[in-house]
Structures are given as structure tokens and as C-alpha cells.
Amino acid sequence: MFVFGLAVMLKLFSIQFVDGEKYKALAEKRVVKDVVIPANRGNVYSANGNLLATSIPKYDIRIDALTSSSKNFSECLKPLSDSLAKFTGKTSNYYQRELQKARKNKNRYYLLARNIGYSDYVRIRNFPLLNLGAFKGGLIVEQVEKRERPMGGIAQRTIGYEREDENGNVTRPGIDGAFGVKYLRGVDGKRKMQRIGKGQWKPLSDANEIEPKDGYDIYTTIDVNIQDIAHHALLKQLETYNAEHGCVVVMEVKTGEIRAISNLGRTSKGTYYEKLNYAVGESHEPGSTFKLMALAAALEDKVIDTSDVVDTEKGVLTFYGKKVRDSKWGGYGKISVSEAFEVSSNTGIVKAIHNAYKDKPEKFVDRLYAMNLDDTLQIPIIGEAKPIIPDPRIKNGKWSGIALQWMSYGYGVRLTPLQSLTFYNAIANNGEMVRPRFLKEVKEFGKTIEVFDKEIINNQVCSKETIKKLQQLLKNVVEKKHGTGHRLYSENFSMAGKTGTAQTEYWMEDWTENKRYISSFTGYFPADEPKYSCIVVIHKPDTNVGYYGADVSGPVFKRIAQKIFTDTPLVDEVQMLEVKKASVEKEYEDYYSLAQTYKTIMPNVIGLPAMDAMALLENMDVKLRVKLNGSGTITKQSVEKSVKLKNNQTVVLNAS
């Protein structure tokens, strides 16, 4: 017995002093662990300070039913149950039973409320017993962050997110994802948690071991007004043509700042949402919008001029058994290269490029390379597709006997919408190619941390002489009656651009029975001294409704351009305030006449702008309550013209 007792003592000594640290560490590992406290993610703002994405704290409130003393528990049980009943709508008796059961069953992690906001969290922690804190009252608070987007579905994919799945795989689409690691994420904190059985853990104290450091706020180049205009203009057209998907990008010409980017895809139910970032990640054959790049190369190499005449040969050309056709049956006869571009003659452009480069196609390709058309834009948003430019010197199966001719009118090459827009923007910017930019600055509590300036990709993509010719061609597409974009022409507002109608999936066997097209319009506005460039691309519109770029995508471009200048006037326009315009003068005289004539009887305000009608009625000699439904121009008034008005009478105006 003595020997056995001695062995036990030796073993205890060994456990306590020899292996003590090992067993302490093992015990602590099993019952105590460090838990990461995610830092508050920084906010994402628009260029004008509107909130695009923010992290909202959400709270789970629990109680350790064993922590409080018997006296505190019994005294606070009824008032705590009453407070919880008012908060949740359940009965006080229900909570008294549940809390007593939790204490009896030694439940140290009983859930009181889940996923509540900050104001509710403050309210609950002041309830009886819980207001005693973690040690005396058993209060357990767990905070998580939920990312909210105040604009809802608008630009959802562009704003983006950073998300990690259960396997540790991280997806980072959009602005939030692109700048998350460097700016938004912050530095996580740590706190110790204790195992309390049944796989549950609770904080050891209210204080954190390491406090988290919040992420920076980023200010994007997005303008919420322009974004809203672009989103709804695109959505309306997609619904009208029952198209598969589409995108719009609006870029500021001088700086490359992206003012709006909308990507909408159709669901199985026929609705549209921000499915993928098509503008950045989807490359496709651009079709006729690539004719600008082809002519830019030829004009710069001085192998053709806009005044050169080409024979469209009744609208059909054949190369190695493959036909190039014009959309106009019978072709356009003999026309200038300029007119071939303006009417978007496939045969005219193809013939001009073929004649100029048939013996040296690599020269054509080299010129495209010199204009940076083979490079990615190297933007921070993840997933940009690489351009495809066939090259006769590269043996990759992309070059063939008809590659040069097909490239001339936008087939065989592949660009993303944003890459195409960047080239058009360079033409609008007198040859200076700027990198598209999504970020203006990074801030912390209002203090600027980093500012992002304009980045130049190419100081001069081609000569000034070539730029002027291309700018005139793009103006002619809209301004000249024979131009494919002439239906977009407005006497009051100038635009320049190019239509595009490209066949897609034409290699599939069912294409003849089920034709699919990509309709696009790329350009800038105003035509002189342009402020914004814009691209609209719509995939697979219903051919029974329409599919030409001028019909499908052109109206979106025009709607965006006009509304931008209606809703967000340029500072430069202030210089034109002294210029008298007949139509404006007449509108003012008509308004002044109405204001002087009608003092106590109802005028006819139908056709007036809503703000003018409101001002007119609110400044009459009788006091009126004016209610306006909608915005724009007045279409209906609740009180007929010439009716005598009374004080405090309500007048309802409908506008659209």
C-alpha cells in the first residue's frame, strides 16, 4: 500500500510539475479559444457622397442563466419577462417559464433575440437583470456585420461584395471586392471565448483582447443620378425587346471616370437584375462598331482616305467562298469611304481594307496593336476579359484567308464593351486614351488617405489629322440623313457615334431558324467638345420586335444623353445664359402672360413644366393647396380652366 501510494504521489508530482504546462495548454485549448472579431468594413460612396454600400451591425442577445445570483434572478425574473414580452409580442408567463427552465437545465447560452439592430440592442441591454452586465446579469452579446446597399438592385454587381464560403474560397466582384483587401476590410480584432457544452461558446468578458480597426471609406466615380438614368433606360429597352442581357457604361471623356455602369440579365421569370458584370467581363465580336478602329488604322497608315471611292458591287463580296453582305439589298453602288462608314456598308469598308492591306495584313494588325487594342485595360475590378486580335504571325488557329476581311467589319476580333468604349473615348478626347477609373479617393473619418488621378494609357492613339476625320465621320452617322444613327438626331442636342448589329452564335446549326444578334451603339455627347462617352450593348433582342443597333441600343444612348443634360446640367452652360433663344423667350413670355392674367381663376397649365405650373398656382391671389403626382410636363389638372378658385382649395396636377 505504501509503494502504491508513493507511485500515486510521484505521478501527481509529474503531472503537476513535469507535464503541467502541456496539460494546462490542452485543457485551455479544449475550453478556451481565441475568436476573430471582424473589423467594421468601410463604406462605399458615390462621387457626390451618396452611400452605395455600408456595413450594418446586427446583434444576437443571449443570457447565461447561471451567472446571476439567486436573489437577482428571482427579483428580476418577472420584470425581465415583462420587458421581453413587450419586445417580442409573446407572453410574460412564457418567458418566466423558459428562463426558469434555462436556469434549472444550467443553460448558459439561452437565446433572447436574434439579428436585431443597434437601437433594439440598446433597448434590450437595459432590461432588468441584463442591465447588470455579463458577470452579474449573464448578458451575452454577439455582433455580426451585414452589408447593405441603399440603392438596392441598381449597380449591385458593380458595387460588388467580398464573400467567403465554408471552404475558405473568396469571391470579390465589383468595386467592393476589388478594393476590399487594401482599403475596406480593416484589421480584425480578437476575444477569448469559453466552451460551455453542447458545442456552444460564450465570451469570457465584455472587453476584447485586441480591438478591431475599422476599414477605410472609399469614394467612387459613380454619379447616382447618371447611374439611375442609365439603369432605367437600359431596363426599359431590355423589357421592350425581351432581350437576354445588356449593359451600359457612361464615362467622363477627359478623366476616364466611370459615371455609370449598369449590367442587367434576364431571369427565368422574365425579370432583370444585375446578374454579371458584362461590361467588364464579357468579350464578344463588336460588329460594325469596330469599323471605326479599322478606318483609324487605314487612315493613320495613309493607305486610304475618306474621299476614296469604293464599289460595293451590289452588296455582296466573296472571299474564299465566304460572302460579305450589306443589309441593304443590292448594295449602295459606288460610294466614298466616308459614306460607306456612315451607312455602315460592310462591303464598302471590307473592300477598302482588303485593297489596302491584302499583301501586308500584318501591317494592319500592327496598327491595331499601336492603338492598344490588344491590351487589357488593367482595371482593378476582377474578371476583365482579354481582347482577341488575330495575327498572321501567330500560329494559334485564329488567322485564316478571310481573317483580314472579317476583322474589317468586326468579326473574328473580340473586345469587351468597356474596351471598345475606351477607344471611342480616346477619339472624343482628341487622341488621348485614358484608363477607365472607378475610384476618386480613400478617406478615414473624413480625412483623405489617398487620391486617384487620371491615368493615361496612350498620349496619342493616332495623329490629330486622323482624329479630326474620325470625329467628323461619327458626327455624320447621326447628323446626315443617310446615316444609320440619323433617327437619334436632334436639333437641340448634338451626339456622335456608331451603330453596330452583329450576328452571334452564327456557327450553330439552328441559326437560320433562330437568328441571334448583338445590337450596340457607341459614341459621345455633345458632338463638339464632348463631356461624356457612352456604350450600349444589348444581346439577343427578340428579332420579331427589332434587332438593328439604331433601333435597339440607339434610343437608350439618346435617352441617357438627353436626361443627363436635363437633370445634371454642365457648369459650362452658365456661360450661355446671356444668349437669347427664340423658343425660350416665347416660353417665358407665355408663362409671364399667364401669371399676369390669372389671379383668381384656374389657368390651363397642361403642357407646362411641372415646376412652372406649381410656381404659377402657388403665387396666385388665392391660397391653394397644390398636389403634384409625377414629374415632367403637366398632363392633367383636377380643376378645369376658367373655374373660380377659393381659398384653401386643393388642385391636383398629374405630370409625366
Give mean pLDDT, residues 302-314: 94
Q: Give 350's Cβ-side CA count (13 Å radius).
A: 26
Confidence class for position 9, pLDDT limits 50, 70, 90: confident
Q: Is 382 helix (H, G, I), strand (E, B) or coil?
A: coil
Poorest-pLDDT segment among 42-46, 147-151, 382-386, 554-558: 147-151
Tell me how far apart the alpha carbons of residues 71 and 127 are, in angstroms, rounded to a whole number: 17
**Extents of the domains making up the chain:** 1-33, 38-161+184-218, 225-567, 597-655
Q: What is the pLDDT of residue 577?
A: 42
Categorize the per-residue pLDDT at 517 as very low, low, confident or very high, splitting at 50, 70 and 90: very high
Of 107-121, 205-219, 269-283, 326-340, the range with the lowest mean pLDDT is: 205-219
Q: pLDDT-derived band of residue 575, with 50, 70 and 90 as boundaries?
A: very low
Q: Which of the pair, 552 or 655, is modelled with greater confidence?
A: 552
In angstroms, the CA 180 to CA 162 distance is 7
pLDDT band of residue 22 (cuts 50, 70, 90) is low
pLDDT at 203: 66
Q: What does the alpha-carbon distance between residue 621 and residue 471 come to, in Å, rounded to a whole number?
A: 55
Percent of the chain at pLDDT above 90?
A: 54
Mean pLDDT to the nearest integer, 457-482: 96
Give the range among 202-216, 409-423, 523-537 with minimum mean pLDDT.
202-216
Residue 274 has pLDDT above 80, yes or no: yes
CA dist., res. 312 & res. 310, Å (int): 6
Contact assessment for residue 301 and residue 367, using Cβ atoms and an 8 Å cutoff:
yes
d(C-alpha 360, C-alpha 305), whole Å? 18
Half-sphere exposure of 582 (CA within 13 A, CB side): 1
pLDDT of residue 27: 53
Question: 538 falls in which pLDDT band (50, 70, 90)?
Answer: very high
557: left (phi over 0), alpha (psi -120 to 50) or beta: alpha
Question: pLDDT value at position 578?
Answer: 45
* Encoded amino acid at 130, one letter: L
CATH node for 225-567 = 3.40.710.10
User: Which range is least confidently modeled, 41-55, 169-183, 394-408?
Assistant: 169-183
Rounded CA separation 145/156 (Å): 18
What is residue 384's DSSP assignment?
P
pLDDT in tens, 592-640: 555 555 567 788 888 877 777 777 777 777 777 888 787 777 888 888 8
Q: What is the pLDDT of residue 172?
A: 74
Decide if pLDDT at 573 tops 50.
no
Residue type, 647: N
Res 282: pLDDT? 94
Query: Is the pLDDT confidence value at 463 over 70?
Result: yes
Arch. (CATH architecture) of 38-161+184-218: Alpha-Beta Complex (3.90)
Q: Is the pLDDT of residue 574 over 50?
A: no
* 139-148/272-273 β-pairing: unpaired
Distance of CA 122 to the CA centre of its chain: 35
Average pLDDT over residues 320-338: 91
Q: Which fold has domain 597-655?
A: Trypsin Inhibitor V; Chain A (3.30.10)
Is the pLDDT at 30 greater than 60? The verdict is no
Summarize pLDDT for 51-82 with one digit per residue, the tens.
Answer: 888 888 788 999 998 889 999 999 999 999 99
Distance linking the first and last C-alpha atoms of the chain: 102
- Write the single-letter amino acid at 598: Y
pLDDT tens-digit profile of 199-234? Answer: 555 666 655 567 778 889 999 999 989 999 999 999
Q: What is the pLDDT of residue 108?
A: 87
Per DSSP, what are the bridge partners of residue 84? none
* β-bridge mates for residue 519, sequence order: 501, 538
Q: Name the H helices within 162-271.
A: 174-178, 224-241
Reported as a pLDDT band with limits 50, 70 and 90, residue 572 is: very low
What is the tens place of the pLDDT at every residue in 337-375? 999 999 999 999 999 999 999 999 999 999 999 999 999
What is the mean predicted confidence (pLDDT) over 462-488?
A: 96
Average pLDDT, the chain: 86
Regarding predicted confidence, which is higher, 417 or 194? 417
User: Per-residue confidence at 166, pLDDT binned at 50, 70, 90?
Assistant: low
